[in-house]
A and B are shown apart, each in its own frame.
Chain A
Amino acid sequence: MTNHWTDIANANLVLVMGGNAAEAHPCGFKWVTEAKAHNKARLIVVDPRFTRTASVADYYAPIRTGTDIAFMGGLINYLLTEDKIQHEYVKNYTDVSFIVKASFGFEDGLFTGYDASKRSYTDKSSWGYEIGEDGFARVDPTLQDPRCVYQLMKQHYSRYTPELASQICGMPQDSMKKIWEEIATCSAPGKTMTILYALGWTQHSIGSQMIRSAAMVQLLLGNVGMPGGGVNALRGHSNIQGLTDLGLLSNLLPGYLTLPGDAEQDYDAYIAKRSPKPLRPGQLSYWQNYGKFHVSLMKAWYGANATAENHWGYDWLPKLDIPGYDILKVFDMMSQGKVNGYVCQGFNPIAALPDKNRVMASLAKLKWLVVMDPLATETSEFWRNVGPYNDVQTANIQTEVIRLPTTCFAEEDGSLVNSGRWLQWHWKGADGPGLARTDVKIMSDLFIRLRKRYQAEGGAWAEPILKLSWPYKVPDDPTPEEIAKEYNGYAVADVTDATGAVIKAGQQLSGFGQLKDDGSTASGCWIFCGSWTEAGNQMARRDNTDPYGMKQNLGWAWAWPMNRRILYNRASSDPAGKPWDPKKRLVWWNGKAWGGTDVPDYKADVPPEAGMNPFIMNAEGVARFFARELMNEGPFPEHYEPFETPIGINPLHPNNKKATSNPAGRVFDSVWDTLGQAKEFPYAATSYRLTEHFHFWTKHCPINAVLQPEQFVEIGEALAKEKGIAAGDRVRVSCKRGHIEAVAVVTKRIRPLQVNNQTVHQIGIPLHWGFTGATRHGYLTNTLVPFLGDGNTQTPESKSFLVNVEKI
């Protein structure tokens, strides 16, 4: 979330799209209720299903799954043609005036630089700005230059007419216009819309671009950095935010630092490439400090062994030969027998990954599998024959499986990061059952055993294992306090910060502004620096007062970065430093410094007249409508059909097969044959969760298993009538990759849509059942999901695929 849960109360309009907060995030959704009750906010819900969120909305409209960019593109077109934008904000705080290279273009669904044989944009050199003789990007503040971002954006979205958007989305034009008109009112300075989304946006082959299109709408309305505004990802798990912040992804290091590629053999060039110089005069371009963050990380990991001479242990980091070994890539390698061993820590891939049968077959090719989990997951028992739910030949599966019991939240101290970036500390209430151990102890003990083996016997590239800093008092069981202090960071030698204050060697740092690139500071995750200072554990703070009545709760827990609750909050004031609206005051210039109801996400002592813009992490200083080379499908979001499309063409590019679905989406060669066509599988399906269950966990809890005991699917009344299916009948839902069987819930909540002059029926498939736990056994829903992903995140398209439905 750019904003956070309680801040939703500041919204004037709430758009829930690509999510169902009332059921999936019920206690967070109360802040929507609060906004409605006390801020006269309106709630609009757009979803393929009439959800419980929709049931309390002021306005609901259905949409065909996977077509949100068409809706947002149409909205962008509407806002630009009707001139319903926050002019001062857009002019000053975004890249609308930047001039794009003459070589950049877009034709029939493809941007310049596409290589069809590689299914990717191999040449992105045209996706950038014209650079002037002064070294800065060229701009035209009048916005008249036909090559400026404003004009290019206007041209790009002029194709998204209400007629075409409606044809793609299956949303009636009058509903669409009604919503657009209401959203447009939030272009008034001080009137804000918040957008709440979840996996309903991320789990598409064009998910990242859907979210970008929403961000563009929010920038046009001047709603980013504003109380009650922003683009808010309601994340699915309790610490998925924290584990991402800590870089537990193939190509990342903690704090959104990135691993080097093979070609980056030169350390200085590695740092320089990630430390962009400002693209406009007077801008901060804060990533210029990359070297400080990186060196401090390597000091935290390698201690005294990381030195200037060995480039802070640069060779100890693995280098990437491809963009990343994400889950889909690793399971593809596994299916080819190229992976021997695998460890699943609190993750149930056979249930969570797409195409269960493919995942099953891949796991069976492993020599060994280690599962660390509090619960008996399906993954740990993938070799067990459970009749139709897991029909395998146990004796033929030669994988050795080692299962380790772990503690759960109640049985350990530590912190989690919620969706609003709050790091909240929690305390242990009891021991785990039996011999269960914490993940920290298991990982530490395993490391100590490995290191002993390398010390005694030597082995391949032992250096990074032998040199890793391990300063914990009990080496095989470090305390959460020791670890939290390490990721916060400490002075290695005496250091003097920008204010002249001296931090003695060994003292905790109070913020990332104190980090150095000379080895005198250590910090395991720079964005968490400030969470455990000399003043103690900031994550454990429990002051819930709200002195300004702005719902920012600065004294409760600690938010990254630097306890700033709303990102880009400098944009809540006009260029002169005055809040756009006194009721929406967040940070402002008091004549000497920035301050206010939130901690400024900005350099606090720079006066407004200096012209430093609010988006300090961007080299431009402003927010980008034009994504440059940073997105893999192009600088502007374009609608592409789901890989399994019920209409077979992209109505925007009916004659270009290459632009039907995401031209840069992640599809392995062996996957094409597993994709179905509408002729055989005519219905658009989408998966989702229920309010009574949490993923594949709560089926292990008797009370939740009683509340929702049996697998079902939702089918609209019209389709049910057509297929002769009555409520309570058992149905078989099949796709090219497999099938599931479940009870049919026949409902008014899903209605047929008119798409591209044909009727499209949608099917809703909740995902909570499996073959372990206290519910009745069910089929893993992801049996039906295609094994392919988004072009940037590689996230699978779990929310849009084709099925057939038959009564059994």
Chain B
Amino acid sequence: MPMMDFQGKQYEIDEDGYLLNLDDWNKEIAGHIAKLEEIDMTDAHWEVITFLRDYYQKYQIAPMIKILVKEIGKVMGPDKGNTKYLYELYPGGPAKQACKIAGLPKPTGCV
């Protein structure tokens, strides 16, 4: 089982660096993963992360991009409610990169 070292503690991760346990997540470790992903976290970045976490708690899956776009548009203003803006925040893709920082597992299947 691969592990991630952070602040003297070990965290279980999968082969691609996603945290395995949802409850291991906190803002500090999110910041750490973001650094590894070379993302400078701003309020807008956190907005996405918070939404992803909340959605996951409710639905046990990361939201589809369509839902994320709508939500970010609502919170950050209509000019930000588009896929392009999300990719500006997370060049590695809102699904892959933002989910990783949010401590969510990778989705599988026909996706």
Is the A/B pair a real complex? no
Q: Which residues of B contact A (CB under 8 A)?
A: none
Q: Which residues of A contact B (CB under 8 A)?
A: none
